[in-house]
Amino acid sequence: MRRGIIRPKAVIIGMMGAGKTRVGKEVAHLMHLSFADADIEIEREVGMKIPAYFERYGEPAFREVEADLIADYLEDFDGIFSLGGGAPMTPSTQDALADYIADGGRVVYLDADPHEAMERANRGGGRPMLNGDANARWRKLYKQRDPVFREVANVHVRTRRQTPQMAARKVMDMIGERTVHVTGSGIEPYDVVIGEGAMNHLADVLGDKVAKVALIHTQPVQRHSDRARTLLRQGGYDVVDIVVPDAEAGKTVDVANGVWTRLGDEGFTRSDAIVGVGGGAATDLAGFIAATWMRGIRYVNCPTSLLAMVDASTGGKTGINTEAGKNLVGSFYTPAGVLADTKTLASLPNDIFIEGLGEVAKSGFIEDTEILRILEEHADELRAFDGATFLGSGLEDVVGELIERTVTVKVHHVSADLKEKGKREFLNYGHTLGHAIEKLEHFRWRHGNAVAVGCVYAAELAHRLGYIDQELVDYHRALLSSLGLPISWNGGSFDDVLALMHKDKKARGNKLRFVVLDGTPGHMIHLEDPPADAVREAFRRIQH
């Protein structure tokens, strides 16, 4: 928020009868904030009821008063602010709301069931815009306003069949969410939603054209898949439950074939969808199934680990492993949405949480150096992560920001290069050796841990060739180890590693190709066919 300006925590918009005042008051109560209703404040300012003002001065004069009052409140009120039904249709108010959003604000479109809203609007009375045939007027206004409300708001809350208390809790969760919008050439735009309760968006993301949903998940995330199943059934979908092996054991041709067979038996068509719930391996597999079934059906990822939230679930890379290597069979296929529900992190053991920090740190090295600063500042808390005390703690906001920043780095590279022909390869910093370690360890080593060692290796290689100084190599080691990540590996010979690095996706022909830093964090280059002695010496230095 800009200095000197006090902004509302959230602004609620919606049709007449949507429950903006009732829900807004409930949200304010839950969040211990003050509440203001624009219509009530206008009546106080003009000294008469709105219907009387309409009758005496007309709608244009009312809209002018309304727009001025809203502009004032958007810069001098710090609670929950509810607007009148027609307020967002005024161009100056649209501009003011856009400025508020640009400054980090939340404009919540309360999208109620039309029949419920019409009934409430009629029951309330005193609405000059509904004079005459009230229901016909309401429907006509809805047709005009709904597209504008969707455009103006950056938070969309459907409240169908929900009590004001249920709707308020949903609004409160969504106000605290972070959203990263993914766009780019060849990409169907989608959102990565990060926050407590993000999974509640499942039905909104899938839409009303989907009939059947295959819920692909692993056994260890049963409590989260149970929640997803409940949300899907509440949304009216027919749910087919598909349990796959955990971790990399689930990313095989045999597992994929079993899922394809099940989809065929269940009669899945192009109008159906996939939802992946679990860690990175589960979301990789779910995306691969979605990309290959009938040449592509809709899918949503619900990552449940830090690693999956910052890496595998976003970016549209899907794949399975083969004997030849990791992720060599796959597709570039973007999801309809990614719902990173931070409630799921509370179920993670410490070591599974820590490995995700390997990918977070990598994103700091390749682009967003603020990530590195946050990791340094909170290293002790992050290393001591305890799921039992995570939700509601100060660490939750830190982790939320780290996820948002890491996803933003990934999105920046993916948007510029969906199919990994250039800039997107920078996301593979640390992965050339990292993937070789995983393969030689038969995937007993977790991905984030292998990437951490791979980042140290890439730093050592860059230093050997004069691209970075020793101080930056030491910084890699110090930061990663302070987070509880490994920085060395002794599990295989150089010849075995070299053979696997030649099979890496970045390799070109028989030439090795690495991503390394050039001078400082945030400056990356491709390093093609480096001298063999430097490749060997860098490997020797990560063995102790």
**248 labelled binding-site residue:** yes
326 annotated as ligand-binding: yes
Average pLDDT over residues 524-529: 90
| 416 annotated to a ligand binding site | no
pLDDT at 420: 47
63 is in an annotated binding site: yes
The mean pLDDT value for 149-157 works out to 88
Residue-wise pLDDT for 358-414, tens only, equals 999 999 999 999 999 999 999 999 999 999 999 888 899 899 999 999 999 988 877
Q: Tell me the C-alpha to C-alpha distance, in Å, between residue 199 and each of 227, 336, 399.
A: 8, 13, 17
| Mean pLDDT, range 273-278, rounded to an integer | 94
127 is in an annotated binding site: yes
Relative orientation angle of helices 134-152 and 91-102, to the nearest 10 degrees:
40
3 or 386, greater pLDDT:
386
Give the bridge partners for 515, in sequence order.
526
What DSSP designation does 76 have?
B
Average of per-residue pLDDT across 303-328: 77
Question: Is 419 annotated as a binding-site member?
Answer: no
Mean pLDDT of 129-158: 81
* Structural contact between residues 306 and 348, judged by C-beta atoms closer than 8 angstroms: yes
Least confident of 22-36, 273-287, 405-419: 405-419
The yes-or-no verdict on residue 425 having pLDDT over 70 is yes
Does the annotation list 392 as a binding residue? Answer: no
Q: Which of 221-235, 239-253, 473-487 has the lowest mean pLDDT?
A: 239-253
pLDDT at 388: 94
Which residue ranges form the domains of the chain, and what is each CATH number? 8-173 (3.40.50.300), 178-406 (3.40.50.1970), 429-541 (1.20.1090.10)
Write phi, then psi, for 112 (nearest 5 degrees): -90, 165
279 appears as a binding residue in the annotation: no
Q: Is 291 annotated as a binding residue?
A: no
> Is 296 labelled a binding residue?
no
Q: Determine the straight-line distance between the first and last CA of the chain, rounded to whole angstroms.
A: 47
Is 47 annotated as belonging to a binding site? Answer: no
| pLDDT tens sequence across 215-235 | 999 988 889 999 999 999 988
Q: Provide the pLDDT confidence category of residue 128 given band limits of 50, 70 and 90.
A: low
Q: Inform me whether the pLDDT recorded for 133 exceeds 50.
A: yes
Token duo for residue 361 = 């740190």
Calculate what percentage of the chain has a pLDDT beyond 70: 91
Residue 520 per-residue DSSP state: E
Instruction: Check pLDDT > 50 for residue 106.
Output: yes
pLDDT score, position 68: 96
- For residue 115, say whether it is annotated as part of any ligand binding site: no
**150 has binding-site annotation:** no
The annotation status of 20 as a binding-site residue, yes or no, is yes
Give me the pLDDT at residue 131, please.
57
Question: Is 369 annotated in some ligand binding site?
Answer: no
Cβ neighbors of 136 (< 8 A, separation 6 or more) are: none
Q: Which of 27-41, 163-177, 311-325 has the highest mean pLDDT?
A: 27-41
CA distance linking residue 5 with residue 312, whole number of Å: 39
pLDDT at site 267: 93
235 is in an annotated binding site: no
- How confident is the model at residue 333, as a pLDDT? 80
Tally of CB atoms within 10 A around 327 = 18
- Is 469 annotated as ligand-binding? no
| Residue 102 annotated as binding site | no
pTM of the model: 0.78
Calpha distance 404→199 (Å, rounded): 16
Q: Is 305 annotated as a binding residue?
A: yes
Determine whether the annotation assigns residue 17 to a binding site: yes
For the beta sheet containing 337-341, the strands, ordered from the edge strand earlier in sequence to the opposite edge, are 178-182, 190-195, 337-341, 298-303, 273-278, 212-218, 238-244
* 415 annotated to a ligand binding site: no
pLDDT of residue 55: 86
Q: Is 234 annotated to bind ligand?
A: no
User: pLDDT: is 257 or 315 the higher one?
Assistant: 257
Whether the pLDDT of residue 429 is over 80: the answer is yes
What's the distance, CA 222 to chain centroid?
Answer: 21
- Among 310, 543, 517, residue whose Cα is nearest residue 429: 517
CA distance 503 to 436: 9
Q: What are phi and psi of 300, to 5 degrees?
A: -130, 135
Mean pLDDT of 479-487: 97
Which whole number is the average pLDDT over 440-455?
93
18 is in an annotated binding site: yes
265 labeled binding residue: no
Which of these, 34, 171, 41, lies nearest to 108 by C-alpha position?
A: 171
- pLDDT, mean of residues 503-521: 79
On average, the pLDDT of the chain sits at: 88
Supply the DSSP string of 289-320, one letter for each residue: HHHHGGG--EEEEEE-SHHIIIIITSSSEEEE
Ligand-binding annotation for 282, yes or no, is: yes
Is 24 known as a binding-site position?
no
For range 422-450, the mean pLDDT:
87
> How is residue 369 written in tokens?
């150096």
To the question of whether residue 162 is assigned a binding role by annotation, the answer is yes
pLDDT: which is higher, 315 or 418: 315
pLDDT tens-place string over residues 167-186 = 898 888 888 888 888 877 76
Report pLDDT for 373.
Answer: 97
